[in-house]
């Protein structure tokens, strides 16, 4: 029988492309022969905007990179500037930063689980995930008034101290979450259909994963123990007890399991942070050394000078964001605005491995593999 190949344009408007992403697929019936990724539908010129804004003005833009987990974005940018300008950060501020970032890691993985199961056709998990996420978002709201775009972690510290009643509510969340993760595992991990869809699908070997520049859970799912929190310890991570979650299979299920384990590890980290939180209520460093303070009174906080100029130089600073390695490369020419801001976003680099994973598989496998890479298009297109 004469057949012909089908060119299928999946996206940019499609239910499971997690935003505006386009797959150009060359198909033989249901089988994917070739997969091209077309990105850039959400390009906002964030890096260029970085050159136009003063150092502090750019922080809110980092919220909008990976809007599911904005705290790590804030932190990565703040960390880069701190390294550039040599700013000391009070210990309590570091604790609060780690607290927010690990909380953010949990809700990022909740959204991941929800949207993955949604892509596989089980709509319940996303509702359950969002139910718990809501509690974390309420904590964030207590902390900084915002639920998704926080603008909270600033160079030199954090914007405000923890509000009253935050820690008890957090403890409640931690206790609740422990049980919930068991629930999820019961709902999902023991489901034969889920295993059928995830095992041996979208396999990528450790070497290939490294070659493609995969980071984060996507890389750890291939058996590479690569976690910047351990390799290049930053903040208070050296003092904390946690392990790097690794699975060796390299398939979709391994990537999924890494994230489930990471949620447990994050809970473990959070409990340690709560227990060892320093009492001193200093959450930001007022002195920037060379900072030319402007006379303008700050509406946000008295701790930060609105405008300051770090010494000329460049810095590349990276952290382990929930989705992978998030790096900021900042070049300063000694003025109040960066000369160049380059963002190494985890979603962008991880996404490029998709064609390698899915060629020869079927459309449903593409959806599953894509779901386990866990990208946010705001992070891909910047």
Partner 1 sequence: MIENAYQLIVYVLTLLGVYEWIYGIFQSFGIDYVLQIIIVFVEIVILFAFVLVTVMFLTWMERKVVAMVQSRYGPMVTGPRGLLQPVMDGVKLIGKEDIIPAKADRWIFTLAPFIVFIPALLVFIPLPFGKSLIISDLRVGLLYIIAISAMSPVALLLAGWASNNKYSLMGAMRAVAQDISYTIPLALTAIAVVMFTGSLSTVDIVNAQGGTWFGIIPKWFIFIQPLGFILFLIASIAEMGRIPFDFQESESELVAGFFTEYSGMKFAMFFLAEYAHLFAVSGIIVTLFLGGWEGPALPFIPVQLTSLVIFLIKTYAVIFFAMWLRDTVPRVRIDQLLNLGWKIMVPLAVLNLLLTGFIVVAGVI
Interacting residue ranges for partner 1, rule: CB under 8 A: 6, 8, 14-16, 30, 117-124, 127-128, 131, 187, 191, 193-194, 196-197, 362-365, 367
Closest to 73 in 3D by CA, of 40, 50, 91 = 50
Complete DSSP assignment for 292-353: ---SPPPSS-SSS-S---PPSEEEEEEEEETTEEEEEEEEE-SSSSEEEEEEE-HHHHHHTT
CB of 130 to partner 1, least distance (A): 9
Residue nearer to partner 1 on the CB measure, 30 or 232? 30
List strand residue ranges (DSSP E) for 88-163, in order: 153-154, 157-158
Q: Three-state DSSP class for 284?
A: strand
* Smallest separation (angstroms) from partner 1 to the CB of 19: 14
Q: What SS3 class is residue 209?
A: helix
Q: Of the two residues 38 and 282, which places its CB atom closer to partner 1 in the complex?
A: 38
Q: How far is the CB of 25 from partner 1 (least distance, A)?
A: 10
Q: Is the four-CA dihedral 286, 291, 292, 296 of positive or negative sign? A: negative
Of 292, 333, 289, which is closest to residue 88 (Cα–Cα)? 289
Residue with smaller CB distance to partner 1, 13 or 290: 13
| Residue number with CB closer to partner 1 (105 or 197) | 197
The contacts of residue 138 (CB under 8 Å, 6+ apart) are 169
In this complex, which beta carbon is closest to partner 1, that of residue 198 or of residue 219? 198
C-beta of 126 vs 341, nearer to partner 1:
126
Residue 33 half-sphere exposure, CB side, CA atoms within 13 Å? 9
| Cβ 187 to partner 1 shortest distance, Å | 7
Least separation, in Å, of the C-beta of 43 and partner 1?
24
Residue whose CB is less far from partner 1, 120 or 257: 120
Three-state DSSP class for residue 34: strand
**Which of 369, 173, 88, 125 lies closest to 254, judged by CA?**
369
CB 55 within 8 A of CB 27: no
Nearest-approach distance from CB 336 to partner 1, in angstroms: 47
Q: Which of 11, 152, 180 is nearest to 74 (CA)?
A: 152
Considering the complex, what minimum distance in angstroms separates the CB of residue 11 from partner 1? 10
């Amino acid at each position: 029988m004469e057949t012909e190949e089908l060119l299928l344009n999946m996206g940019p408007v499609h239910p499971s492309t997690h935003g505006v992403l386009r797959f150009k697929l060359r198909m033989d019936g249901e089988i994917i022969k070739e997969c091209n990724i077309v990105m850039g539908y959400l390009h906002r010129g964030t890096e260029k905007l970085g050159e136009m804004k003063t150092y502090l003005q750019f922080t809110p833009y980092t919220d909008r990179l990976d809007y599911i987990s904005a705290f790590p974005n804030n932190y990565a940018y703040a960390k880069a500037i701190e390294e550039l300008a040599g700013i000391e950060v009070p210990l309590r501020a570091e604790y609060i930063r780690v607290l927010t970032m690990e909380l953010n890691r949990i809700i990022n993985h909740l959204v991941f689980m929800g949207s993955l199961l949604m892509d596989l056709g089980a709509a319940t998990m996303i509702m359950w995930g969002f139910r718990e996420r809501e509690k974390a978002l309420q904590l964030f709201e207590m902390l900084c008034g915002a639920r998704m775009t926080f603008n909270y972690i600033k160079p030199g510290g954090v914007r405000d101290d923890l509000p009253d009643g935050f820690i008890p509510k957090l403890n409640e969340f931690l206790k609740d979450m422990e049980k919930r993760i068991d629930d999820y595992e019961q709902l999902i991990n023991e489901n034969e259909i889920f295993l059928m869809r995830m095992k041996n699908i979208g396999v990528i070997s450790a070497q290939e994963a490294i070659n493609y520049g995969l980071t984060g859970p996507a890389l750890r799912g291939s058996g590479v123990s690569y976690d910047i929190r351990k390799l290049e310890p930053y903040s208070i991570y050296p003092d904390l007890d946690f392990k790097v979650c690794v699975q060796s299979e390299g398939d979709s299920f391994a990537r999924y399991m890494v994230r489930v384990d990471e949620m447990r590890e994050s809970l473990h980290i959070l409990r340690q942070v709560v227990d060892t939180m320093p009492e001193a209520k200093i959450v930001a460093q007022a002195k920037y050394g060379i900072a030319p303070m402007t006379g303008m009174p700050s509406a946000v906080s008295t701790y930060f000078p609105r405008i300051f100029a770090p010494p000329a130089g460049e810095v590349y600073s990276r952290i382990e964001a929930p989705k992978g390695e998030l790096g900021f490369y900042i070049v300063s020419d000694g003025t109040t605005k960066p000369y160049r801001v380059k963002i190494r976003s985890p979603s962008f680099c991880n996404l490029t491995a998709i064609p390698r994973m899915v060629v020869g598989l079927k459309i449903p496998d593409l959806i599953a593999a894509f779901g386990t890479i866990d990208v946010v298009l705001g992070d891909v297109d910047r």
